[in-house]
Chain A
């Protein structure tokens, strides 16, 4: 391992810029003549718009334009799209209601966009927003998921008369029913996966800029995938053809999925820029982020597990209602279907699985992918039901899991996925050891002496990352292919620029991607620049989400590097006057086998550009190669997390005492960055389990619309984590990488809830398990304190 190559815990190159305040986020960018946009948002969850009176607002100081849904229609600007088609059981396509960027006749959630004011200053834009008078006819809202599809419920979109977007299924119903028919024991569980609000540190922002000389647009925006944004804005919304639309996603301060999607605000800014004739900037404030960033999760599930007399799992049936909010956001439809149900086999050998999912409209913010996207929901179901099954059968939860682990690979589950490799027992063994499981009962007794309830909870998760083979996702309804592209440009002095279609918004690509180049070309990471986030620089890319940038993005770079080395060998052969077959490349030097003749990588780069030693007919000058990489399978990171906690029954406060995580991420490029990803993931997962929860009241008003009520996990809520890894390299990409970005968020919630219910003695508890909720459960707890 070289100092900056694969496997080295290199400090992040980008951090100097971020820590010293030199990052360039969208809001740091200002264009000459820039104007400011402010949106009028619906104060009602559900209402028809009878009339909009703009006269007072138009007369307001500094106002340049006020645009509404009528203007969008007049300009034939298309609506926002959902890019993944889901078909119901009966073969009918999902019922996607129109999603105009500015409301046309109706508003469907609090925060829905009605009009935009563009003014000289932000304060003027906001003043004018307050002067717009809208005459609403308030309609009864649909808020509760279990009421949404009942007959007589208000209709949100005419295309979906019972508010059902789809009624989808996966798996073999007859086989699953057969398993239950012969079951010795059936474990049943009802679960809610609570709605979360992503809360990236940087709110969303956009600047639309129009160049009338070239009839071309530029959009600066907080995006995880600028090329997808361009594709959607161009091909579907119809803002401009792709070659006339440049999308720049500069430094982006966190996304967690919420910045994948193409939203109303950026669409409106880029469209308005031409209408106003000046750049238009919008920067969301925190309230807007709470109200109108796509939320995550929000499932209600009933699950049943069939078991034989020894505790072997025979079958699983799952019925889920998934809240999709008021409109279908960009990838919303696939999250509770193809990103969820195929993961319900967990790490277990389950012969028969049948899953039914209803996607449902409600008068709430759209719900879409959020860190883990579907996989945390699946893991919560399987890891809760497995835990309860073990308890019901009186078996040790760790050994119950082990007994049901998949042990031979490849393993085809009954729900699409073919697990390629793994060693689940190894992760479990290591985790049990690190968590000192054997002495847990002793610690529990100690806690009881202090009046505290101690519990331990397991989560043996699996996820499908590296999303994903294009042919596979295409067959499942995706509107795009999920390959990645890369271009490696070697400069004459031997420095390297890598253009990637991945996008870094906290992941540290500028470091890890450079480490790959350093490793392969034998140069320092300081000689490598990673270029991303600009559609004029990078040819195309699918962006960063689903822990795909290592497995897919870096594999594309790896492929391009292969081509660079191959070409450089040819150049070296001319320069060293040897035959190409005799050229060896090692540690950054090209040498002629069996001689002391050699050239450094930089020298060969120069030879490629000066092209003095060969003719252009023999070999093209220059050293630049590109590659598209399409994976052959998903990757399957897995691991075991163990949470040990104490509950104060007097207050209901839960304190996590130990956290053990043993993950198999395949090969690791930078262990320090991976650890950081695991820490952040666990924090977010613990957040879901203990603190976070979006709450709408019966009128569809978001009660948790600020940090006064929406509780984020903080550093002092968490212990120091004990983190380790096991390794089975991924066989389906050249680097053996599986991905690590979502693991913690996927693994953590069931580990916490299993530990709380263990401490309380099998009481079920909803997330977030707030002090109040835990206190109430503790009052009824069957586990009486030994000390009492």
Chain B
């Protein structure tokens, strides 16, 4: 780790001005990505702006037909939240399977979405559920937010404050963990709301999380695992590494999608 300055703002506005004031500074949320990167000397921010003491950034509430989660809400709190478990159990289940207990007690939903790791779990939920990412400046629809691996619509100085998830009629997440890291090697989030079906895939593509149109079309016809028989996604731009080549990941997308549908149907 290189030396850095540390700032502890109390409000989003203070955080924003601290970010502005210190060149090459970075927001610190749970630190589960940022700190390891700094320890390996792969990142060297001049200053860390710790969001941990900013009032009102953590918390979960039901607002009408939406579940709204503060950016600094830890994965463990989403997993154990009675509100999430009741109205959006697929999200509680997803959060419960991120990393290990230590990671879940530090890592935050805002940090995960800001980072947009191509193997992270939350992006699949946000995209499949049609979430809205709320920042200190604007509201961004999930469809516009994810722009390729580690790339988002966030601008310089923009801070995620909340994420709003519309409640689906049926939803589930099926994750195939990378054997070593246990990040998603393929994670498929399936959400049905009225006649609308959205399927988001994480872990598989070099372009990060994406919506799987062929799977959505098949499920739109009939929301049933059988509908996915023989349906596949184009895997040409998929990740190939020692754990799984593109074709294997392609196979896993369909398999995990089927399992997600079965889970969504309570089977």
Contact = CB atoms under 8 A, between A and B. Distances in A.
Interface of A: 123, 126-127, 130, 287, 650-652, 691, 695, 703-704, 707-712, 770-772, 775-776
Contact of B179 (A127, A130, A691): A691
A770 B252 CA distance: 14
A772 B180 CA distance: 13
Contacts of B252: 651
Interface stretch (B15-23, B84-92, B136-144, B242-250): B242-250
A469 B265 CA distance: 66
Interface in B152-178: 176
Contact of B245 (A703, A704, A772): A772
**Which secondary structure dominates where chain B touches chain A?**
loop
A775 B242 contact: no
Nearest to B255: A650
Contacts of B255: 650-651
10 contacts: A123-B1, A123-B2, A130-B41, A652-B248, A704-B242, A709-B180, A710-B180, A712-B180, A770-B179, A771-B179
Nearest to A130: B41
B181 A709 contact: yes
A708 B180 contact: yes
Contacts of B5: none
Contacts of B243: 709, 770, 772
B102 interface: no
Interface in B216-254: 241-245, 248, 251-252
B22 to A, nearest CB: 21
A23 B251 CA distance: 48
Contacts of A710: 180
Given A652-B248, A704-B242, A709-B241, 10 more contacts: A123-B3, A709-B181, A709-B242, A709-B243, A711-B180, A712-B180, A771-B179, A772-B243, A775-B248, A776-B248
A772 B244 CA distance: 6
A707 B180 contact: yes
Nearest to A779: B251
Contacts of A707: 180-181
A704 B251 CA distance: 24
A651, A703, A707: most-surrounded residue (chain B CB, <10 A): A651
Nearest to B248: A772
Most chain B Cβ neighbours within 10 Å, of A130, A691, A772: A772
Nearest to B242: A695
6 interchain residue pairs of minimum CB distance = A711-B180, A708-B181, A711-B179, A650-B255, A772-B248, A772-B244
Contacts of B242: 695, 703-704, 709
A691 B242 CA distance: 12
A703 B240 CA distance: 13
Nearest to A776: B248
Interface centre among B181, B242, B243 (most CB of A within 10 A): B242
A79 to B, nearest CB: 31
A683 to B, nearest CB: 15
Contacts of B251: 650, 775
Interface centre among B3, B40, B180 (most CB of A within 10 A): B180
B181 A126 contact: no
A775 B244 CA distance: 10
A632 to B, nearest CB: 45
A651 B180 contact: no
Contacts of B1: 123
A77 B22 CA distance: 50
Nearest to B182: A714
A770 B181 CA distance: 14
B3 A126 contact: no
A710 B179 CA distance: 9
Nearest to A287: B40
Contacts of A651: 176, 252, 255
Contacts of B245: 772
Contacts of B180: 691, 704, 707-712
B203 to A, nearest CB: 13
Contacts of B181: 707-709
A711 B241 CA distance: 14
Nearest to A122: B1
Interface in B184-205: none
Nearest to A704: B242
Contacts of B176: 651, 771
A73 B189 CA distance: 62
Nearest to A653: B176
Contacts of A704: 180, 242
B162 to A, nearest CB: 30
B40 to A, nearest CB: 8
Contacts of B41: 126, 130
Contacts of A691: 179-180
A552 B40 CA distance: 43
Looking at B179, B180, B244, B248, which has the most chain A CB atoms within 10 Å of its CB? B179
A598 to B, nearest CB: 58
Nearest to B3: A123
B232 to A, nearest CB: 13
Contacts of B241: 709
A451 to B, nearest CB: 11
Contacts of A770: 179, 243
A290 B252 CA distance: 30
Contacts of A130: 41
A123 B1 CA distance: 7
Nearest to B258: A650
Nearest to A768: B179
Nearest to B100: A714
A651 B2 CA distance: 42
B258 to A, nearest CB: 8
Nearest to A773: B248
A770 B243 CA distance: 8
A772 B181 CA distance: 15
A651 B244 CA distance: 11
Interface string B1-38: 11100000000000000000000000000000000000
Contacts of B179: 691, 711, 770-771
B199 to A, nearest CB: 18
Name, among A652, A710, A771, the residue most crowded by chain B CB atoms within 10 Å (CB to CB): A771
Contacts of A695: 242
Contacts of A775: 248, 251
Contacts of B3: 123
A745 to B, nearest CB: 19
A695 B179 CA distance: 15
Nearest to B251: A775
B102 to A, nearest CB: 14
Nearest to B119: A708
Contacts of A652: 248
Contacts of A776: 248
Contacts of A709: 180-181, 241-243
A184 B77 CA distance: 67
A123 B243 CA distance: 34
B8 to A, nearest CB: 22
A1 B42 CA distance: 59
B97 to A, nearest CB: 12
B256 to A, nearest CB: 8
A288 to B, nearest CB: 12
A287 B42 CA distance: 14
A619 B255 CA distance: 82
A695 B242 CA distance: 8
Nearest to A714: B182
Contacts of A703: 242
A775 B41 CA distance: 38
B215 to A, nearest CB: 16
The residue among A703, A707, A709 with the most chain B CB atoms within 10 A of its own CB is: A709
A650 B174 CA distance: 14
A548 to B, nearest CB: 33
B99 to A, nearest CB: 12
Nearest to A127: B2
B43 to A, nearest CB: 15
A521 B236 CA distance: 73
A123 B181 CA distance: 28
